[in-house]
Amino acid sequence: MRSPLGGALVSTDQKSPFRTKTVEQSIRDTEEPEHALRKSLSAWDLTVFGVGVIIGTGIFVLTGIAARNNAGPATSLAFVVAGIVCALAALCYAEFASTVPVAGSAYTFSYASIGELPAWIIGWDLVLEFALGTAVVAVGWSGYVRHLMHTNLGWDMPAALSGPDGGGTFDLLAFLLVLVLTAILVAGTKLSARITAIVVAIKVFVVLLVIVAGLFFIKADNYSPFIPPAEPQPAGSGLKAPLIQVLFGYAPTNFGVMGIFTAASLVFFAFIGFDVVATAAEETKNPQRDMPRGILGSLIICTVLYVAVTLVVTGMQDYRQMSASAPLAEAFKSVDQPFFAGAISLGAAVGLITVCMILLLGQTRVFFAMSRDGLLPRVFSVTHPKYRTPYRATVLLGGVIAVVAGFTSLEKLAELVNIGTLFAFVVVALGVMVLRKTRPDLHRSFRTPWVPLIPILSIAASFWLMLNLPTETWIRFGIWMVIGFVVYFLYGRRHSRLGKAGADADY
């Protein structure tokens, strides 16, 4: 079977787990009324989504840890390094998202270039990444709110409802937050975009407040030395040691030039989320034009803000004295400005709401795309008759994540979000190179420059950061991937629409 645009709709070997689903078929699937999403997002909406999910826990927390332990004032350069790694990946995402404007992000891109099994694995990876990310941020938001209630109002949540991190058993606030955001997402992405725009405005105002107000309290002495002398990092042991140390005996250093790269692997978490923009490609009015703008625009804006905030905060307070939990607020307390400290804490709590919402949005769209392809039960790919949202998948996943956030302390599992994102970067960069070879005739509204150099650099940079993660994180990630293989061969491969013997009739 061939499409009007030319090219086979399915690969000739329908039994191969590496069969590919062409770009034309992916786009045609979006036109099925029962499984179609409403196109309502603009470049501005996408940029707001990107800024909304990127600015969150990372800048409000990791700045202090990286400055105090790894890079000192040069933490600003660590943000530049992490931003460059993300920019390399963003260029690849922009080409795919504008060429294949279909829900699913890296999952859909892989299906069109590398094959069904790799696509399933990356989709399975993204489901874990977004689920854990949503739950972790919800628990973090709950902690911020409980702290603000106690500090400013003298109110305390009952111990039993404060969650494992608060000494209780069930985190009621985190549970309720996820449920409310689930209801908002069912009601439509345009409503989500409007709420996100309001919250992002508050969050960006707080970041700008830090930059502008903090300029008046900078002391030049705090920048000396800008790059502190290198110190050997305490040797890791067992499964907590970085994989690069276990494999090659290389122990990362604190401070010095290499300390900047060590800090970059930590603050990389602050950039997680720009790839979520790509999951909304199918709901974008003009994806060929707007997806590259949304992805690259949000990343550039956040990188500039991150570098500015880091320079100001490390100039306000000696990096050795920076707080590991609330560096921005504590920096203002150190110069006797409690009003600004309170405003920053409130802005951080409000800002985390959008992070949760957009991570949940990304997960439901990946799950929806996998279901529409038959790799997961097709019942979850039916869209709401009025709102045109994947309401069944959203309700299922929202409910599961709400329970996980309510009962679980996810501090150790949070590192899986990092490795999952970096793995997606590697697969997308590889997919760009493969599709350039297999479909050179395909119209690309945005083209990644200097292929294959940029994708190769993206793969190398992402893999380097992955090697700096603890060995136990790699083991957990490997276990999740093995479970994914089992599910694919027991269910996904047999129910795949692409792989059915009657594929032509089905399509």
Radius of gyration of the chain (CA): 23
pLDDT by residue (tens digit) across 425-447? 999 999 999 999 988 888 888 89
Query: Per-residue pLDDT tens for 56-75?
Result: 766 777 788 889 988 999 99
Cβ neighbours of 317 (radius 10 Å): 24
- Which pLDDT belongs to residue 276? 76
Assign 254 to helix, strand or coil: strand
Which residue is it, tokens 């694995």?
A: 121
Q: What are the φ and ψ backbone dihedral angles of 3, each rounded to 5 degrees? A: -90, 160
Over 60: is that where the pLDDT of 7 sits?
no
* 404 touches 131 (CB < 8 A): yes
Question: Does residue 197 have a pLDDT over 70?
Answer: yes
The Cα 315–Cα 326 span in angstroms is: 16
pLDDT tens digits, 351-365 = 888 888 888 988 898
The mean predicted confidence, pLDDT, of the chain is 84
* CA–CA separation, 139 and 134 (whole Å): 9
Q: Is the pLDDT of residue 8 over 60?
A: no
Percent of the chain with pLDDT over 90: 34
Cα angle 413, 272, 200 (rounded to 5 degrees) comes to 115
User: CB under 8 Å to 349, separation ≥6 — which residues?
Assistant: 141, 144, 145, 148
Q: Which residue has the higher pLDDT, 241 or 495?
A: 495
Task: Please determine, for residue 481, whether its predicted confidence score (pLDDT) is greater than 80.
Answer: yes
- Residue 506 pLDDT grade (very low, low, confident, very high; cuts 50, 70, 90): very low
**Minimum mean pLDDT range among 306-310, 370-374, 384-388:** 384-388
**Least-confidence region, from 252-261, 322-331, 412-421, 476-485:** 412-421
β-partners of residue 254 are: 231
- Mapping DSSP onto H, E and C, the string for 298-340 reads HHHHHHHHHHHHHHHHHHHCCHHHCCCCCHHHHHHHCCCCHHH
Q: Is 84 exposed, middle or buried (0-12, 13-18, 19+ CB in 10 A)?
A: middle
Do 402 and 80 contact (CB within 8 A), yes or no?
no
Q: How far apart are CA 360 and CA 56, in angstroms?
A: 15
Q: Residue 393: is its pLDDT beyond 80?
A: yes
Where are the strands (E) in 177-278, listed by range? 231-232, 253-254
> For residue 265, what are its two tokens?
């692997």
What pLDDT score does 190 carry? 66
pTM: 0.82
Tell me the per-residue pLDDT of 321-351, one tens digit each, with 9 for 90 and over.
Answer: 988 667 888 889 889 988 888 888 788 788 8
pLDDT tens digits, 81-126: 999 999 999 999 989 888 888 877 889 888 988 899 999 999 999 8
pLDDT of residue 458: 95
173 close to 143: Cβ distance less than 8 angstroms: no
Does residue 399 have a pLDDT over 90?
yes
Residue 226 has pLDDT above 50, yes or no: yes
Residue burial 453-464, b: 16+ Cβ < 10 Å; e: rest: ebbebbbebbee
